[in-house]
Structure 1
Amino acid sequence: MALELAGNSRETEQIVAFIHEHKSKQTDPFCAYLHHMPGLRTTANNRVQSLPEFCRLFYAVKANSEPHILQALAPIVHGFEAASLGEIVKIRQAAPDSPILFGGPGKTLEELEGALRHNVHLIHAESIHELNKLNAIAQRHGRMVSVLLRINLRGPLPAATLAMGGRPTQFGMDETQIGQVIQHVKQLPFLRVEGFHFHSLSNNLDAGEHIKLVQHYIRLAGEWAGKYGVELNYLNAGGGLGVNYADLDAQFDWGAFVSGLENEIRKDMRPETALLFECGRYMTAASGYYAAEVLDIKQNHGRHYVIVRGGTHQFRLPASWQHSHPFEVIPVQEWEYPYDRPAVEAVHVTVVGQLCTPKDVLAQDVPVKQVRAGDIILFRYAGAYGWAISHHDFLSHPHPGHYYLEPSPVSVT
């Protein structure tokens, strides 16, 4: 959707002012990621402080692993969730003492060695083979290692954009194998099972359904702990709290979710158990923006195309999820060239990038009042799974700028 600037927050106004200031100082087309750091900190503080005391909120680094983001979140969140040794190293550079959860399928020997070296708090075990590898490494180091068993439930589960459980996937161990897995791990003397990890879906927008899902996790984990005699110090309910890119005014209801934790989940929690959440997108998406200058506007087979500096090699999320990403047009009045300025009014446009592929689409068939070459397309909710998942060097275009807006903005190009 194309959003109107009027009525937007003070944060967006600051972003727009920054764009105008910096565009006026450069001759190259403007293209940058912009992160509103006070907004990020406020969001993170509100999330952490509103949780019941039996809950812990970890930041899932895969959503955005830039050092400035990790440094900003380190004093606020209870810890970080990593999915590779590279992410563990980034976390330790930003937060030397923060607790780390380490998950993901196919962990290598080097990664498991690195997890011990960097004092990872909990390792999410994905298979019996991974448990065997980790036990051998722990034995070589002469230390006990705490693990959570990642389980792929049979479902049914709530609908969401991505499903990592409730169906065949590469994640976790089949729910029907839980007895076999626990009996096996009891024969591994250097591993300590401290609970279970469930991360069954991603981008769930229904707070009520998410509470029901967490209740299901708690019931199963309690049954297994009692039946098989394992500790339940931690229950990791994963992430999966969604962002509504189709309607920015209809977001996941955090207040209702926290209320459900207090009123529905609390009574089912064992006093010794901490409930962990590992949120990424939900923490950083709203405070990030991707801004790209309009290079050309043309009509082709009856459709209006707005071509911007950049594209899906810098901001892959829309193509990855096959959605039209929400944006607004930032007018730029200056036009210093001797030739006509391409422009359209009151039409539907498709916003594309510079790549030599028809899949380089950021938004499709979106109504706009006006857009001209030299204006800026400002994509909102771009702070997660944007730059981090993009194929940066395809066609070898210049990288975007990276700005972290504080009272005195920090620029990383």
Structure 2
Amino acid sequence: MTINIEKVERYIAAQSEEVCAFIYDLEGLNKHISSLLNPLPESVQFYYAIKANSDEQMLQALLPHVYGFEVASMGEIIKVRSISKDVPIAFGGPGKTLTELKAALEHNVSLFHLESQLQLDRLNWLAKQQGKVIDVLLRVNPSFSLPDATLQMAGKATQFGIEQPELELLLEKVADFEHLNIIGFHFHCISNNLNETTHIKAVEKYIDTALQWQQQFNLSLSTINVGGGIGVAYQPEQRAFDWSHYCEQLSLLLKDYPSINIAMECGRFVSAYCGVYLAEVTDIKSNHGEAFAVLRGGNHHFRLPSSWQHNHPFKIIPREAWPFSFARPELSDSPITLCGELCTPKDVLAKQVQVENIRVGDVVMFEKAGAYGWHISHHDFLSHPHPERIYL
């Protein structure tokens, strides 16, 4: 799925000042989410992880399609409840405070992913006070090996989940938590995995492990959350995740487990493709033998490239107008570094990338910018103006 370039060009042509904007294609998002959900087995509950992009317009567009929304803070709960009073919410995150848990109950959160004994103790205590029994999944930091991915969330020492030996001790005393209904397990162990075959193998391992615990500890198991973690191929040499093949294999796998609901919580794979980030070239210069294009923008708006230290994919949209008597800096058939306007050498969006031609006044369009762009960035560093955010 791509953004309508003609609409982007019309937007650029209408600007009287330096261009700096995110543009999101909601029509494309609707088509994309439908293409993801249609081949999924019926037993899969598909949550959108709103940390990837939590704009109200995005949530409204996704609301008719998804089973629910996965959140990781009280602020995200409020964003979801502002568009729907009853859509299912799954509340994750390693740092849930007593205040947040109490507020989540008040906002009708239907499922909690608990990551420590203290979180179980807190929620059980709150539920007892309110005379409720709350559905929970226990988040696992497993001992078994996991496939490689850009981010490893578990399977090693991280702040996420309950390590497997401690979890098994907790499962021996689930009856102590009288106001918690432990309906299953949450395995969000990897992020940005591009290999659908290894992803299926991981899901199969999650299911096998959960079923072993069900038998060993006499659990009433109904739901296994296999996380998100499906990646986006940002680099041309990367092979894209084959969603169709993944769904085929998942359907075959789940035929053997008709009584189990599988939950997924995808963010990047849903919203990345529907957004672009536009940044006008404001200067071109050379230092110590390397060329640099300075942009109206940078990682205070779009932090993903510098966070992952990758060259983000882009296109250059040329602009012919140059209404000045002084020379227009440009560079042709040469490598150049695309950097932002911040006072730090880390403000780089693509380093020493080959371009055919780039001029001051042209606009760089960074693709696949609909996830983890604006929403993970330090917006007010140096107090530059925020970009426009346009929804087609």
TM-score class, shorter-chain normalisation, is over 0.9
Match of 1:34 among 4, 23, 39: 23
Question: Residue 268 of structure 1 is aligned with which of 232, 248, 256?
Answer: 256
Task: Give the residue type in structure 2 aligned to 1:397.
Answer: H
Aligned mates of 1:10, 1:81 — CA distance in 2: 25
Distance 1:198 1:157, change over 3 A: same
- Alignment-mate amino acid for residue 101 of structure 2: L
User: Match of 1:408?
Assistant: none
State whether residues 285 and 384 of structure 1, in contact with CA within 8 Å, keep that contact through their aligned partners in structure 2. Answer: yes
Q: How many residues align?
A: 392
Indicate if the aligned counterparts of 2:3 and 2:275 stay in contact, CA closer than 8 A. no
Choose the corresponding residue for 2:326, options 339, 364, 381.
339
What is the aligned partner in structure 2 of residue 149 from structure 1? 138
* TM-score normalised by the chain length of structure 1: 0.93
Q: 2:115 matched to which residue of 1?
A: 126
In the other structure, the counterpart of 2:373 is 386
Residue 310 of structure 1: aligned partner:
297
Deviation per CA, 1:280-304, whole angstroms, max 9, x where unpaired?
0000001110000000001111111
- Determine the structure 2 residue equivalent to 1:135: 124
The offset of 1:239, in angstroms, is 0.4
Letter in 2 for 1:268: D
User: 2: CA distance between counterparts of 1:216 and 1:249?
Assistant: 26
SS at match of 1:338: coil
Q: Quote the offset at 1:266 in angstroms.
A: 1.7
Aligned-residue identity in percent: 46
In 2: Cα distance, 1:337 partner to 1:80 partner:
51
Residue matched to 1:84? 73
1:246 aligned counterpart, secondary structure? coil
Instruction: Answer yes or no: is 1:285 the counterpart of 2:276.
Output: no
How far 1:321 moved relative to its partner?
Answer: 0.5
Give the 3-state SS of the residue equivalent to 1:276 in structure 2.
strand
What SS does the corresponding residue of 1:159 show, helix, strand or coil?
coil
CA deviation profile, 1:110-129 (whole Å, cap 9, x unmatched): 11012111111210010111
Structure 1 segments unaligned to the other structure (5+ residues)? 1-8, 406-413
1:56 alignment partner AA = Q
Q: CA deviation at 1:249?
A: 7.3
CA distance 1:248–1:335, shift in 2 (3 Å): farther
Q: Match for 1:276: what amino acid? A: A
Shift of 1:11: 3.3
Partner of 2:336: 349
Q: Is the 8 A contact 1:225 1:232 kept in 2?
A: yes
Give the alignment of 1:151-170 within 5 angstroms.
151-170=140-159
1:200 aligns with 2:189: yes
CA distance in 1, matches of 2:269, 2:200: 16
Partners of 1:394 and 1:324 lie apart in 2 by 22
Structure 1 pair 76/18, CA: closer, same or farther in 2 (3 Å)?
Answer: farther
Q: How far apart, CA to CA, are the structure 2 residues paired with 1:100 and 1:291? A: 33
Gaps of 5+ in 2: none
The match for 1:111 among 100, 103, 118 is 100
Contact 1:131–1:185 (Cα < 8 Å) also in 2: no
With the length of structure 2 as denominator, give the TM-score of the two structures: 0.98
Give the aligned partner of residue 53 of structure 1.
42
| TM-superposition CA deviations, 1:185-211 (whole Å, max 9, x none) | 320111110000000010000000000
Q: CA deviation at 1:376?
A: 0.2
Q: Distance in 1 between matches of 2:170 and 2:7?
A: 51
Q: CA deviation at 1:10?
A: 7.0
Q: Secondary structure at the match of 2:176?
A: coil
Distance in 1 of aligned mates of 2:321 and 2:374: 29
User: For 2:135, what is the secondary structure of its paired residue?
Assistant: strand
In structure 1, the residue matched to 2:180 is 191
> Please, which of 198, 210, 222 is the counterpart of residue 199 of structure 2?
210
- Deviation at residue 248 of structure 1 after TM alignment: 7.9
Confirm or deny that 1:368 pairs with 2:358. no
CA contact (8 A) 1:145 1:192 kept: yes
Matched AA of 2:328: R
Distance 2:256 2:186 in 1: 17
- The amino acid of 2:230's aligned partner reads L
Q: Is the 8 A contact 1:155 1:167 kept in 2?
A: no
Q: Check 1:348–1:16 CA distance in 2 against 1; reply closer, same or farther (3 A cut).
A: same
**Matched-pair contact (CA < 8 Å) for 2:2–2:273:** no
CA distance in 2, matches of 1:157, 1:20: 45
Tell me how far apart the structure 1 counterparts of residues 6 and 263 of structure 2 sit (CA, whole Å).
Answer: 34
8 Å CA contact 1:99–1:120 kept in 2: the answer is yes
Deviation by residue 1:7-63 (Cα, 9 ceiling, x = unmatched): xx773423433333332xx2x201000001111111111111210111111100100
Q: 1:85-130 deviations in whole A, cap 9, x for unaligned?
A: 1100100112222111000112011110121111112100101111
Alignment RMSD, CA only?
1.2
Aligned to 2:306: 319
The 3-state SS of whatever aligns with 2:255 is: helix
Query: Alignment partner of 2:281: what SS?
Result: strand
**Separation in 1, partners of 2:67, 2:355:** 42
1:397 is aligned, of 361, 384, 389, to 384
Residue 243 of structure 1 pairs with residue 235 of structure 2: no
Q: CA deviation at 1:268?
A: 3.4
